[in-house]
Amino acid sequence: MADQVRASHILITHANAYRAETERTKEEALAEIEGLKADIDGGAEFAGVARDNSSCPSSAQGGDLGSFGRGAMVPAFEEAAFALNVGEVSGPVETDFGYHLIHRTE
């Protein structure tokens, strides 16, 4: 079991998410993240999709969060990131911040 992973993510927030500044409903956010996942599955580059769509400041780096160990991220995000194989992209992962797609890069 890996002690550290490196991952990128895309965050789509909604009005009820922690620190969100959007009027987007939770349902709209889920539909948007599912559409982005379909784009990536269809061949779109993860980093480009992150730069163009993510609500996280990491979008400027293509969603790159760098390397992190267990306990550094909220539980649902951590569980999903550590469960991925290198190169794999998760389905939507819900946290208090909104919906994420996670791409494990190392």
Each of the 106 residues of the chain gets a pLDDT tens digit; together they read 579 999 999 999 999 999 888 999 999 999 999 999 999 999 999 999 999 999 999 999 999 999 999 999 999 999 999 999 999 999 999 999 999 999 999 9
Can you list the positions of beta strands (E) in 19-83? 64-69
Cα distances (Å, whole numbers) of residue 3 to 59, 61, 64, 72: 25, 23, 18, 11
Number of domains in the chain: 1
- 48: containing domain: 4-104
User: How many Å apart are CA 54 and CA 47, to the nearest integer?
Assistant: 10
CATH number at residue 60: 3.10.50.40
pLDDT at 1: 58
Where is 76: in which H helix or E strand? helix 75-83
